[in-house]
Amino acid sequence: MAHDILIVDDEADIRMLLSGILEDEGYQTREAADSKEALARIRARQPSLVILDIWLQGSELDGIEILKIIRREAPQLPVLMISGHGTIETAVAAIKIGAYDFIEKPFKSDRLLLLVERAIEAARLKRDYEELKLRSGADVELVGGSSVMNHLRQAIDKVAPTGSRVLISGPAGSGKEVAARLLHARSRRSKGPFVVLNCATMRPERLEIELFGTEPGAEGPDSPRKIGTFEQAHGGTLVLDEVADMPLETQGKIVRVLQDQVFERVGGNNRVEVDVRVVASSNRDLPAEILAGRFREDLFYRLSVVPIKVPPLRERRDDIPQLTRYFMARSAQSAGVSARELGEDAMAALQAYEWPGNVRQLKNVVDWLLIMAPGEPKDPIRADMLPAEIGSIVPTVLKWEKGGEIMSLPLRDAREVFEREYLLAQVTRFGGNISRTAAFIGMERSALHRKLKSLGVLNGDRGLKVAP
Ligand SMILES: Nc1ncnc2c1ncn2[C@@H]1O[C@H](COP(=O)(O)OP(=O)(O)OP(=O)(O)O)[C@@H](O)[C@H]1O
């Protein structure tokens, strides 16, 4: 995405010269000859940078006064001042007010381009830093080697550069936001902003303010202009998280923005033009929401140009060991302690668990284990150290304690109890896949099948019987 630069100078030939130099380097430019035009252009859409002449003949406000308004209305917008003879002192004063730097007339194009590049980069770094502060711990790595995850990554790689709208569906905590980040990172907009708005956590009135921003005075007599998420995301990606939670009326407004890439801020009628890739995500069944009259069909078709599904963790149990090690390494690093290993029994229990809270829940369990698991840091974490609801999945006879009940049985019956519990745990861990379980435990597939049937673990063809 080309950066959009606004050139404010009263002299038409300087504006032409500047826009020529900048456009040759691939920037997009807009021009303004006086304060009225300049402010109108900025209000219509926030540029990436303003190049602002200090002395503007025939203008109501001079460069310094315009700068003050920009600082107030758009504090993140970088401004590069142009100073002529005798205005250097003013230019220095401008830096104190918050201009990025100044360049003196007559200027060399190399120096101009260098300053422009630096000013935009500095603003981007500041924005990234702010974003990072807000969302520290955000991931762009989609960990997992299961075939479902490989397909997901392939789908993302394929659709990312096309710029199509994408609807990501999947249950809570499954990694929808990580998928959206990856989509942005692999797109042509990767240098542009990535903005996420959670539609579920906001009151309906607040949602529109967040989406579209406000004009000065809209939220009280002295309220400043607020830039909404659509405008913040110009040149980048906007994620509408939990899009099904948006009120119908707001949905209608979004349809319009998607159609025309134009909207008005709350409390005004300035038309704001934006170029934003919208990625929506939801954990609901949107076609069912449409039938229930809670989601607009036209919005669904506009958002869902390419649908992507992130499956629940229980459908990709193969990813659990890798995810566990990944979260363990990261948590240990950020806590400044050494990572703990997990014993085979603990890993089997993690793989057999249902994970209603998906990857987010796994991450929390790993964080908890790092702090709470007893024993020396070098000792592996065992199944009985896991939170009760997870650890109980592993049959008691397999835990490192002397099973009481089993000791009261003759060998033949004890062996049967053991086999049954062991096999049930292994088959669950491999998601009911008999071939893979057989390969892991070192049995022929058909022999395992017979065994499971004779132990009453298999119910019918492939269905698993619940442990008695
Ligand atoms: N494949 C993955 N690799 C690495 N981290 C992951 C993966 N999937 C999810 N996570 C991590 O799990 C947590 C939850 O993921 P994320 O926020 O993307 O889920 P979500 O589907 O958007 O959830 P919600 O619907 O609740 O917003 C995050 O901390 C994320 O970093």
Nearest CA to ligand 1 atom 6: 175
93: in domain: yes
Asked if 202 and 275 sit in the same domain, the reply is yes
Same domain, 364 and 330: yes
pTM, two decimals, is 0.66
CA of 17 to the centre of ligand 1 (A): 48
Strands 213-214 and 463-464: unpaired
> Which residues, 6+ apart, have CB-to-CB distance to 144 below 8 Å?
316, 318, 319, 322, 323
Distance from Cα 361 to the centre of ligand 1, integer Å: 9
Q: Is residue 354 part of a domain?
A: yes
State in Å: Cα 178 to ligand 1 middle.
Answer: 6
Q: Are residues 300 and 345 in the same domain?
A: no
Q: Is 123 within the bounds of a domain?
A: yes
Distance (angstroms) between ligand 1 centre and the Cα of 175 equals: 3
Single out the residue of 382, 383, 392 nearest to residue 354, CA to CA.
Answer: 392
Q: Is the pLDDT of residue 438 over 50?
A: yes
The number of folded domains in the chain is 4
Structural domain contains residue 147: no
Residues with CB under 6 A from ligand 1: 139, 141-144, 170, 172-178, 241, 283, 359-360, 363
pLDDT tens sequence across 396-405: 545 444 455 6
As for the ipTM of the complex, it is: 0.97
Residues 299 and 336 in one domain: no
**Within-domain flag for 252:** yes
* Residue 301 shares a structural domain with residue 361: no
- Other residues' Cβ atoms within 10 Å of the Cβ of residue 251: 19
User: The domain that contains 199 carries what CATH number?
Assistant: 3.40.50.300
Residue 411, domain CATH: 1.10.10.60
**Do 438 and 457 sit in the same domain of this protein?**
yes
Say if 449 falls within a structural domain. Answer: yes
Are 408 and 382 in the same domain?
no
**Bridge partners (DSSP) listed for residue 194:** 237
Q: What is the predicted pLDDT for the residue at 459?
A: 57
Distance 150 CA to ligand 1 centre (A): 16
Report the pLDDT averaged over residues 292-307. 93
* Distance set, CA 403 to CA 343, 409, 418 (Å): 19, 11, 11
Give me the domain span that covers residue 178.
162-310
Pair 342, 368 in one domain: yes
The CATH code of the domain that includes 390 is 1.10.8.60
Instruction: Judge whether residue 461 has pLDDT over 60.
Output: no
3-state helix, strand, coil in the chain (%, to 5): 50, 15, 35
Atom in ligand 1 nearest the alpha carbon of residue 144: 1
Q: Which atom of ligand 1 is nearest to the CA of 363?
A: 12
Q: What is the pLDDT of residue 134?
A: 52
268 in helix, strand or coil? coil
Which residue is closest in CA terms to ligand 1's atom 24? 172
Same domain? For 299 and 338 the reply is no
Tell the residue number behind the tokens 């003050």, with chain if given: 68
pLDDT number for residue 405: 63
Residue 115 located in a structural domain: yes
